[in-house]
Each structure stands twice: as C-alpha cells, then as structure tokens.
Amino acid sequence: MGHFHVAELAVAFWMAKDFHTRFTCVYNGKPGDGGNVLSHNIWTEENVVFTIILIITYFLSPVGLTIYFLATRTYFQQFAASQPINWRNPQNLKIKKIVSAVDYRLLFKRTIRFDDSLPDNLRTFYRFIRGLIGGFLGFIVLGFYAIYIVYCLIFHRKKTSAIENSPRWPPASVRAHTIESFWHSIITPIENRDWLWKVKSYWLQICTFILFAPNGENPFALFRAMQHDFAESLGEESTAGFFPFGDGVGVANYKYVKAYLQSRDPLIMKDFQTIGWSVSSSLIKYCESNHIFLPNPSHPMPDHHLLSRKIIHQWLAAFPHTLKNLHDSCSERNTATYRYLTRIVPRHPKSEANKEMIYLAVGETLFFLATGGSLTSDERDAYLDCVKNPFTFLPDWFNFLVAGHYKENIGYESYGKFQAAFARHAQGPALQAAFEAAGGKLSKSEVIRLVTMAFCLGAAPAPAKLTADIVHRLWSDQSDEILAGQDAYKQEKMVDLFYENPRNFIKESARLYTVLPMVSVLSNARIANDVKTHTGADLPANTRIHCSLTDANRDPNEFTSPDEFNPRRSAIELGKIITWNGVESDIEGKNKELRPPRYCPGHDLSILVMKFVASRFAPVMISRNQESQRSMQVNGIELMSLNSLVKPKLYVENSLSDGKSRHPDDEESEIVIVIRELYTRTHLDVKTEKYYLSSLDGYTRLIIELSKLALKGWNAKPPRAIDIAEPCNLPTQDLHLKRVDCARYVATWDEDDQNRWHCHTKLVNKILNSAFWPLEDHELQFNSIDDMIAWRWKHFPSMPSPNNPQWCGDSDDLMSRFAFFGLACHHTRKLDPGMESMELHTATLTHSILKSAHYVNDMTALSLFAVRAPFDRYGAAAYFDRERRLIGIYLSHRDELVMPMSHSCGLDNDWTYAKYMWRSSALAEVTIRDHLLTTHFIESNTLTNVSRQFLPAAHPLRIFLKPFTYRTVTINYSAATSLVNAGGLCHRIWGFEYDEFVKLCDYVIAHYRFRTMPDWIPDNMKLKKNQQNNYEKENVNNHVIGENNEKSEHNQNNKVHETNGVSDKNQSEEWVKHYPIAEDLPAFWNIVRDYVRRFFEIEYGKEESKEEEKKGTMKSERTFMIEPCERRFIAELCKPLGLDGIPSRAHLIDVITQLMCACTGIHEHVGHVGDYLFDPSFIGTKLRRDLPSLLPSVQNYSLMLVLTVLTAMKMPGLMEDWSHLIPRVATDNHEDKLPSIITEEQVKSHLDNYYLFKHQLTERMEKIDKRHRMPDTFPFQSFNPSFMECSVSV
C-alpha cells in the first residue's frame, strides 16, 4: 500500500503548487503591520476549503482531484490570478514600503523571558509544550483543592461563627482553616523555613488565591470575613485589622494603612504593586530599568524611582491636550480638544453603554490627551486587554498553571503594541518633555517603555473600571420600570448628584470601589511592633504588608455610615479617601513637598478624564424646577412641535459646563431630542409589543436582529483614521469585479477588509436573499405615534441622533424649509419667466395659481415606474412663490394639482397627502438616484476601483486618494447584494416592482452625466446669480470647464465677495440665509479642489503657463501623469463617468475633486436620511391614498429604521488625522527604502498641504457653526465638515 501513498503525496504536492500559482486567495496581506507581510498560511475560508480537498486527495486521490478540478472552475474561479504567481516568493508582489514616521529604535523590546530570544517557530513550539504541561498541572492542583475542601468540611466544620455578608464561596470552614494554617506559616521565623515550609506556603498561597479569585471585583466582604475568622482563631475580639493574606499580612485599619503608605520613614520600603502576591518575575524585569513601581534596594541607584516619578510628572504636565478649563475659554486648542473628544466619545444618553465601550472611551481619551493621536483598532484591543487581563501582576507559579503563561504572554503583547503607539508620537511635546526629564540617565527607548508602563499599568485598569462603575451608578435609578411613572421624574436622581459636584461624586465612588484593593510595603521594626501588639506574634523582617485600601476606605471610625454612597459627605471625610495611594486632602495639598511620597501621579488626570467620560455616558438630567414640572404634563404630540424644540422649556444641564456659561459647541440639540423622546415615550407594554411583532414577516424580524448585532459590534469599535492602512498591492489587484443588476460593476475584494473569515457575512447574505422570505407587504399599523417612538427606542437603540432635529410636523412653513434646506434642496430651482413647458411630468404653468410660482422642487421622475398594488406611484412637484411659500403641489401621475385648503375646495386630507407624497417622493428619488446610484455605484465606485486597479500601491496619487476609498469596496458590495437585489432592502422598503426597479436603475445610470459639484445646484440658484449687483464673478465656481485655472488662486476660501460692494455682500448673505447650500457647497468644493491642486503641484511642479513653456523654462520635475499606468488610469476614469477624455491637468483635478467630494460632502448631504425619519410621521416610503392614516406600517417603519441604522455605521471622520499615510523619507536602515523620488522637502510640502486642508475645513466648520448660532437660523449641516466621513458608508 505504501507506494500508493507516495503517489498521492506527489499529487497533493502538485495540487498545492498549482493552487498557489493560480489563485490569489491563498495570500493574505497585512499591510498595516509595519512589515507589510504577505503570507500564505492564514486560515481563511478558502484555505480551509482547499485543505479539506487536500485531505480528501490524500485518502482518495481520484475523488480529491475531481473535486479540485470542479472547485477551480467554480468556487475558486473568482480568485484566479491574471498571471502565474511566483509561489515560493510571493513577496515579489508585495507593497513598496511606505516608511511611516516611527523610529525603529524606539520599538526595541527587552528580552525579558527565556523564550523571547528563541526563533519564531521554536518559540511557538516551546510555548505550546509549556502550555500543555502548565494546563495539566493546573488541573491536578484544582483536584487537590477539591480534596482539601472535602477535608476541611469534614474535620473543621464547627470552627467558625457566621458573620453577615460573608462571601458565599468557598465554604467558611475552608476559609478559616486556610487562614489559621497560613498564619502559622507566616510567623515561622526565617531560620526555621525549610523546603517543606516552602511547599506548604505555596500551597497556602494557592488556597488564598482561590479564595480571592471569585471575589476579585469587590473583595471587601472577603477581607472582612477573613479578619473575623482570624480574630476568632486567635480567640480575640479583634486584631485591629491585621490578618494573614496572600504572601504576607493584610492591614485593614485606616490609621495603619495611612501611616504605612504615607510614611517618609526610609525604613518602610515600598513594594511591587500587587494585590497580595508577588508580581510575575517578567514584570519585574520589564520594569527593571525604570523602577516605576518598585524601588529596588539592591539597585546601584536605590532612589532611581524618584527619577522615574520625575519623568512621569513632567510627561503628564506636557500633555498636548488637557481637559482642565475645557470650557473656560474657547481658545483654539480647547476647541480642537473638544471637537476631537466629542467625536470619539459620542454621547450615549439613551441607555447604559456596555463596559467595553466605556473602557475604550477612557483609553482613547487618555491616549489622545497624551499624544494628540488616536489608537488603531489593534491598539484598542490591547487597551482592553490591559484593563481586563491582570495576569502580569500575578506570580510566576500561578501563571505557569494557567496554560503555561498563556494569558501573561498576551499581556506583554499588549504592552508592546502600546510601546509602538507611543513611539509614533515620539516627536510630540509630552514625550519630548519626558526625554528631557530623563536628562540622559535613561535612553529614549527606556523612557518610552517607562511611559508605556505607566500607561498600561496605571492608566488602564483603574480609571477604566472606575468609570464603568460610575456610569453604572448613574444609570442605577433609570430603569424602564422606575421611569414608567411620571412622578419618577420628580425624584432626585444619581445624575443630579453627579452634576451637583462631579469630583465629589467620583471620589465617593472611588471610595467604595477601590479598583486597586491593596498596595504593598515591606515590614520594618515599627510595623512588626504594631503586629505584635495586636496579634501577639513576632513577624520576620521584610514580610510583605498588604495595605487594604478597600478596608481603610470603609473604616467606621473615619467615615459615617461607611457602606453608604453619599457624595455629599463632609469635605473632611471626602478628604480622607485613600484610593490614589495617599489621603486625598494631602494629595491635593498645595505644597508639593508635603504630598504623600508615593501618591499616584495620575490623580488629577484620571479624575478629569473620568468626569468627562462619565458625563458623555450619563443619562440626561432634567432640572426639577417649577416650570419644567409643568412642561412635563404636556402631552407627547405637543412636545413634538417645532416650538418646544427651538426654545426648549426644559432647562438642560450641560455635562461639562459646571453651571457656568455654555460652551459654544455643546450639542444641545442632542439632549433636547433625548428629552423629547423621554417624555413622549410611552412604555410599550408586552402585549402590544407582541402584537406588533407578530405582524412582521420573517425577513423583517431577522434583519432587525442582524442589524442590532452588526451595529453593536461596529459602534463599540468604529474605525478611526489611523486604521486606514497604506494601499496594498497584493496579487488580488484584480479586485474581482462582478456584474450586478442595478449597480453595473462592483468589486468584491477589498484591501481594507481582509476579513479572515468572511464566511458568516456571506452566509447571512445567502439566508437573507434566499427564497424563505417571500416579499410581503404587511399592512398592520401602529396605534399611535407614541407607540412608534417606543418601538424605535426598544428595537433600534443605535438610531443616530439627528444633526438637524427640526424635521417634525408638516406645516407649510416646514415644507418650504424642506425644499430649501432638506435633502432634495439641490433639486429646487427657479422657474424662468419665459418658460413655456416644463419637463416631462410637471404641471403646465397655465394654472392660474402657478402664475405666481417662482420656485419648483420637481420630484416627478419616479412616476414613470410602476409600483406594487395597492400603493400609489411616486412623483410630485412642489411650487413656491417668490417668498418661498408653498403654493401648490402637483401629483404627476394623476395629473392633479393640489392646493392648500384656503385655495382649493378639496379636503384638507388631500393637502396633507400631497405634502407627504412630495416629501416621500423626494426621499425615494434622492436616496435611489443621488445616493445609491450616483454617489455609491458610479462615483465612489469609480474612484475606488480605478485607483486600485490601475495605480501601483506606491503611487503618490493612490496613497493620496486612499482615505477617500477606505472600505468602499465592502460597502458597495454589500449594498449591491443586500440593498438593490431582488428581495433586498430597497425592494421591500419602496413599492416598486422589481422589474421596474431595475428599469429605474438603468434609467438613472443611462441619464448619468458627470457634473462637478458646483453644478449640483441649478444655475439660477447659485450665489452669483442671486446678487443684485451684476458684477461678473466668474470664479465663484472654482472649477474648470472652460475657465482659466490661474484665476482661481485669487479666490481661495470664499473671500470672493470681499471686493464687491456692501450691498452685494448683503444680498448674498440674504440668499445664503434662505438657501445655504449655495454657499456651503462651492465653499467645500473649493477647499477640496485646492487640496488636490496643491497635491499635484508638489508631485509634478506648478503647471507652466503657455508662455513660459515656450521660453523653455521647463523644470526638472516629473512630467505630468505620463507614465503608462497613469495614462491608463486617466483613460479608465473616463469610461464609467462617461467622459470623452480628460484633456488637461485642470480637468483631471476637477474630476478627482468631484469624486472625492462625492464620497464626503455629497454623501453626507444625500445619505444622512436619519434626520428625516426622526418624526415617524414626517416621511414615508410607500404611499396609500386610500387609507385614512399616512403613517407607515409596522413592517415598513421597521425596515426604514433598519436602513437608517445601517447608515449610522461610522467611517473615519473627515476631520480625523490620517497624516500617517503621507510617505516619509526612510530613517531606518531597512533594505527596502522608498524609491528616492521622495525628498524631505516634498514630505514637508505634503504635510503642509494636509494641514492647510484641515485648517481650511476647520474654518469652514466654524463659519457654519457661527451661522447656526444666529437667532432663527434653520440648521443646514450637510456640508459641515465636522459631520462628514472621509469615505462612503452605507
């Protein structure tokens, strides 16, 4: 039989080779990982499939081969490479290295453990074996412990008396026995300690550990019980809080804890930061050079730790951002801090956030304050690990038992990631200050490691967990049941206490929840004396003394009712709290010399950060004064009215203002909305909810759950700009384009989402699109709008808060707003007087009332397409007079002109219906045409696919465009497979027959004409056409077609109007007030265009004007876009956009600018539909004239909300920092340096260009904010850069 297997091996070998040469799915690149590794041993789904085939081949080669051949024709076909791949060295296809800013020397890691020095494979093997042995021994130990429990239960049963609140596990008799034997072990004089003693002491440590572990989160009860048991075993009333614990003696008494921790007596040695056991020896080594947590008496410089403290203090003092005085002044720095932080820590006012979200908020805030940068997704995972993984603090023997140091190793990897994260910011002020403080005594990499240590050990677990505890406290009296009664609003709540004095609230929480339960010192004569007084035993020298902060903070001799949470304690008592390794009143003392010697340097910082984060996650607080009491009685609908919004009667305490004047950027609207919801929300009782649920079809139910899941995962860790990796050039450059109905071509391979295991998403798609779920339109309606809000609150908790909360109600006024500020405002145009006939489906202007029509918003295009019974076709146009008042609505497919009640004899219902119909047609048309098809499937798709396919990864333009294409492939692909497909979300939400929907898409795509953004608004609505003065200002639209580009330099930043007369300025200001898009849209365009133009100037030099060219003053710079790949890129760009060619540089700049704007500004404008769905009666997607109510059905409302929450999946913000993508000149001596085309000067110019771009965007943002602060301004946020994302989301 043997020879057969040899043959099969050969076949398998051939197969593997064949597979590796032919299919790109074998390889998986991780471009972000510093080394740009391209590997082919990652278990992706495809590799698993192939391996299964291989195994089959080995056992049954004919079958295996057949399956393989079939698979290459079907399943693997989509991954076929265009050229054979050099499978032994796929690195030849790898990315040219883009050197990031990190100095590699700073990443130096110490080898702290034996296995660190082993080569990779050996190390894995070693760890594996060690893990097996450790795990095995761990089980044996647990077995012994079980025997021990039985032993204690039998022989020591009656030893203890019960005390209240004693922890349930382990049994009291086990505890008592452990303590008793332990005490004997500890007081054994050193000379009597033999190996037997040692074994026994380890065993007892294990026993205490097992006692401690289940009570780790809140060990207070355990500590109390242990003290009680101990006193009892000695036959005494009490032992003044001394008790055997861990590997030494615990101290519970406030008096002693304070004395030991704050002693300046040099004989009291501070010991490693521990909970009761010695820390792992690797941690000691890891900290060796810096001594932060441990003054080492045997070190050549015993007071080395003072230097470390100095470095940390200076580092903290030099943070580039601070939360202190955040609201005192609006200086630029504060605003920048605030802007960034409010973005990365979005308010979570509806429900208690989950713990991980809070942890990450604390970590990201701290890291941002320290560096001004953000954490990558990997680093955020590392932070969570630092918070949750205490294993580096645990002794070696214990770590060994946990699968051979398995968890500990993960901990060190996290520290390494943070070291790299800090190294990215080595040039920042904080680290520079730290380097300086080190004064040459520590090397730079040592300082970075010290800072990393302080961050990972100090700034991770304690503040994160404490904040989560505070937030939990804030929500503890907010549950649905409590809030159900109206009276509940009158009672004082935790939130009220919090805002009354956040610092005290935090301190009091920290008193009861000491995250760090114990701090250790080593015993000296004085301590031994204390112990002897109370227990009668002699303590050997240098025994570990574990000062229990937990107990000290609840000492009844110091605090009145110590177990009660009371932030209104007297200042004296609050000053006694001893959580930050020192007494509060001493830590906050003015005189730095007199502060406790080892108090936590992060004290102030952590309180500020916790205050900030807690206020972001706090429920909203409503002041309980007379007036607000009254306004609470108002019924829900009335509160929905516009009036109560603009001038909210409810006084809202703002999180950070501390009662002082309000910071201009506080998002009041967000709070107002939540309050509105809180009051309008009725409690949806179980029966009604069931009733609604039962009316849903399977598809809707499934997709509600799925969207909930997806959102939860996504929002917990949304991508940040720093996560955008440099482009990569894997063999999969082909992108694997796929043709889909309604969407032309979409790519299926995304360099930004190389999900190892995308099986589940595919599966979900398959299930959703399967025939299980026939398309059914269910009619059941909600009983009331209140129910709709309650439903939304319950099932769509992640519904984003609107940027503009005013789309409520359906007054005619609001309709005018909708036409001039809403998502379809770019379709509103002036009617030219002489115009006889309008387009295809609009009313003839002969109707008398329309004589006065001055503007129209024509949303009739969709009336061409048939809908399912019993719905009405879409299509309506709204007419406005010169004062922009709504005067009539034309319903195109009935050819009917509806007028407001006063003008027509029809029923009021008709008018309401017409308005609703027009709004809904606008939503349908804008969403399907402008958003899905134009922005997603044409423009963003083109930018992404063409740049990825035809520009090599290291091409500057490809890198430049990268942020604007981030994850676009994934987004568009999922839109193609779950939105626009048959039975997809769009098909279900809107009423079209699927055939008609396909036709509609074809129609839109066929009618697509490339326009630059300024032309998105009709000519006669532009700013220049609406200034009285006929001053010719051609360059208002700084764009190409037919214009001389040089002029544009004169009018950057919208300073256009300054030269014009005052009246002109007023005129245009007036117009902007009525039609803000006329200003915002070209202004945004100009900023982006300038950014692109400057980019090309840096790369290819300034464009020579014709004369200079003739004179022959051509510079030596590269010729503009002349390389074959560049030419190809341009040619390919034209195809999907329907352009005949791009004749000049200015044209190219325009096209690229337009595509970038589509992904950012336009996408925000047409894609942010959540605002319009906030009032459930505002807009709909299916029209029924035959029903009395216009409200969407339960099913349809749910589907609309699914679409909305999907759009809430955030992409990195446009204002975030992606400067890491700008290639640098190599500083390291790695071999593959960048091609020398990049010079220092160019790097600097690129950075400058980038910062200028950001600066201009910030100015824009401020300008828009300023406009909104003016009285009676209706918000228009579509082109506000602070809301934009840098690439398209759903």
Residues that bind Fe ion in the complex, under the rule CB under 5 A: 1167, 1288
Residue 1180 CB, nearest distance to Fe ion (Å)? 20
Q: Which two tokens stand for residue 564?
A: 């009660």
- Which residues between 503 and 522 bind ligand HEM (CB under 6 A)? 515-516, 519
- Which residues between 265 and 324 bind ligand HEM (CB under 6 A)? 273, 292-293, 309, 312
The partner residues of 643 in beta bridges, in order of sequence, read none
CB 537 within 8 A of CB 187: yes
- Among residues 376, 364, 378, the alpha carbon closest in space to that of 609 is found at 364
| Stretch (H or E) spanning 746 | strand 744-747
Residue with smaller CB distance to ligand HEM, 583 or 1036: 583
Q: From the list Fe ion, ligand HEM, none, pick the one residue 292 interacts with, judged by a Cβ distance below 5 to 8 Å according to partner type.
A: ligand HEM
Q: From the list ligand HEM, Fe ion, none, pick the one residue 579 interacts with, judged by a Cβ distance below 5 to 8 Å according to partner type.
A: ligand HEM
Q: From the list ligand HEM, Fe ion, none, pick the one residue 620 interacts with, judged by a Cβ distance below 5 to 8 Å according to partner type.
A: none
Sheet of strand 518-522: strand arrangement: 242-245, 248-251, 544-548, 518-522, 269-270
Residue with smaller CB distance to ligand HEM, 457 or 1017: 457
Residue with smaller CB distance to ligand HEM, 359 or 1095: 359
Residue with smaller CB distance to ligand HEM, 607 or 673: 607
Residue 409 CB, nearest distance to ligand HEM (Å)? 23
Our finding on whether 425 is near ligand HEM (CB under 6 A) is no
Residue 562 CB, nearest distance to ligand HEM (Å)? 18
Residue with smaller CB distance to ligand HEM, 606 or 816: 606
Tokens 């939400």 found at: 989
Residue with smaller CB distance to ligand HEM, 549 or 1173: 549
CB 1288 within 8 A of CB 1159: yes
**In this structure, what are the phi and psi dihedrals at residue 350, rounded to the nearest 5 degrees?**
-90, -30
In this structure, the strands spanning 855-859 and 28-30 are unpaired
**What is the full DSSP assignment across 180-236?**
HHHHHHHTS-GGG--HHHHHHHHHHHHHHHHHHGGGTT-THHHHHHHHHHHHHHHT-
Q: Which two tokens stand for residue 336?
A: 């920048």
Rounded Cα distance, 1203 and 1289, in Å: 12
Crossing angle (nearest 10°) for helices 120-155 and 406-423: 130
Residue 309 CB, nearest distance to ligand HEM (Å)? 5
Rounded Cα distance, 1173 and 1153, in Å: 31
Q: From the list ligand HEM, Fe ion, none, pick the one residue 1167 interacts with, judged by a Cβ distance below 5 to 8 Å according to partner type.
A: Fe ion
Residue 936 CB, nearest distance to Fe ion (Å)? 6
- Among residues 996, 991, 927, the alpha carbon closest in space to that of 1183 is found at 991
**What is the full DSSP assignment across 306-318?**
HHHHHHHHHHHHT
Rounded Cα distance, 692 and 687, in Å: 9
Q: From the list ligand HEM, Fe ion, none, pick the one residue 327 interacts with, judged by a Cβ distance below 5 to 8 Å according to partner type.
A: none
With CB under 6 A as the contact rule, the residue among 260, 400, 580, 1253 that binds ligand HEM is 580
**In this structure, what are the phi and psi dihedrals at residue 877, rounded to the nearest 5 degrees?**
-130, 140
From the centroid of its chain, how far is CA 740?
Answer: 31
- Which residues between 820 and 839 bind ligand HEM (CB under 6 A)? none
Q: From the list ligand HEM, Fe ion, none, pick the one residue 1200 interacts with, judged by a Cβ distance below 5 to 8 Å according to partner type.
A: none
Q: From the list Fe ion, ligand HEM, none, pick the one residue 601 interacts with, judged by a Cβ distance below 5 to 8 Å according to partner type.
A: ligand HEM
Our finding on whether 545 is near ligand HEM (CB under 6 A) is no
Residue 944 CB, nearest distance to Fe ion (Å)? 13
Rounded Cα distance, 676 and 599, in Å: 45
Residue with smaller CB distance to ligand HEM, 302 or 809: 302
Residue with smaller CB distance to ligand HEM, 597 or 1167: 597
Crossing angle (nearest 10°) for helices 304-317 and 444-453: 80
- The stretch near ligand HEM (CB under 6 A) out of 14-22, 497-505, 595-603, 1134-1142 is 595-603
- Among residues 888, 857, 825, the alpha carbon closest in space to that of 1074 is found at 825
1235 prior amide bond cis, ω within 30: no
Our finding on whether 361 is near ligand HEM (CB under 6 A) is no
Residue 248 CB, nearest distance to ligand HEM (Å)? 14
Q: From the list Fe ion, ligand HEM, none, pick the one residue 740 interacts with, judged by a Cβ distance below 5 to 8 Å according to partner type.
A: none
In this structure, the strands spanning 37-39 and 28-30 are antiparallel
408 CB-near residues (< 8 Å, 6+ apart): 280, 282, 391, 392, 394, 399, 402
Q: Longest C-alpha distance within the chain, in Å?
A: 113
Residue with smaller CB distance to Fe ion, 241 or 1136: 1136
Q: From the list ligand HEM, Fe ion, none, pick the one residue 519 interacts with, judged by a Cβ distance below 5 to 8 Å according to partner type.
A: ligand HEM
Residue 220 CB, nearest distance to ligand HEM (Å)? 16
**In this structure, what are the phi and psi dihedrals at residue 890, rounded to the nearest 5 degrees?**
-100, 120
- Which residues between 605 and 624 bind ligand HEM (CB under 6 A)? 605-606
Residue 710 CB, nearest distance to Fe ion (Å)? 15
Residue with smaller CB distance to ligand HEM, 456 or 877: 456
Residue of minimal Cβ distance to ligand HEM: 602
Count residues contacting ligand HEM (CB under 6 A)? 24
Tokens 């840096």 found at: 1098
- The 443-482 site mask, x for binding ligand HEM (CB under 6 A), equals -----------xx--xx--xx--x----------------
Residue 455 CB, nearest distance to ligand HEM (Å)? 6
Tokens 């365009």 found at: 1085
Our finding on whether 1162 is near ligand HEM (CB under 6 A) is no
Rounded Cα distance, 30 and 24, in Å: 14
Q: From the list Fe ion, ligand HEM, none, pick the one residue 463 interacts with, judged by a Cβ distance below 5 to 8 Å according to partner type.
A: ligand HEM
* 3-state DSSP assignment of residue 484: helix
Beta-carbon count within 10 A of 60 CB:
13
Q: From the list Fe ion, ligand HEM, none, pick the one residue 346 interacts with, judged by a Cβ distance below 5 to 8 Å according to partner type.
A: none
The partner residues of 520 in beta bridges, in order of sequence, read 546
Residue with smaller CB distance to ligand HEM, 519 or 933: 519
Residue of minimal Cβ distance to Fe ion: 1167
In this structure, the strands spanning 28-30 and 248-251 are unpaired
Residue with smaller CB distance to Fe ion, 395 or 1167: 1167
**In this structure, what are the phi and psi dihedrals at residue 872, rounded to the nearest 5 degrees?**
-90, 150
Terminal-to-terminal C-alpha distance of the chain: 58
Residue 311 CB, nearest distance to ligand HEM (Å)? 9
Our finding on whether 1071 is near ligand HEM (CB under 6 A) is no
Residue with smaller CB distance to ligand HEM, 459 or 613: 459
Q: From the list ligand HEM, Fe ion, none, pick the one residue 458 interacts with, judged by a Cβ distance below 5 to 8 Å according to partner type.
A: ligand HEM
Rounded Cα distance, 511 and 580, in Å: 10
- Among residues 805, 926, 799, the alpha carbon closest in space to that of 859 is found at 926
Residue with smaller CB distance to Fe ion, 1145 or 1210: 1210
* 3-state DSSP assignment of residue 540: coil
Q: Which two tokens stand for residue 660?
A: 């002082």
- Which residues between 232 and 261 bind ligand HEM (CB under 6 A)? none
Residue 1221 CB, nearest distance to ligand HEM (Å)? 29
With CB under 6 A as the contact rule, the residue among 598, 663, 744, 1168 that binds ligand HEM is 598
In this structure, the strands spanning 544-548 and 248-251 are parallel
Residue with smaller CB distance to ligand HEM, 608 or 819: 608
Site residues (CB under 6 A) for ligand HEM? 273, 292-293, 309, 312, 454-455, 458-459, 462-463, 466, 515-516, 519, 579-581, 598, 600-602, 605-606
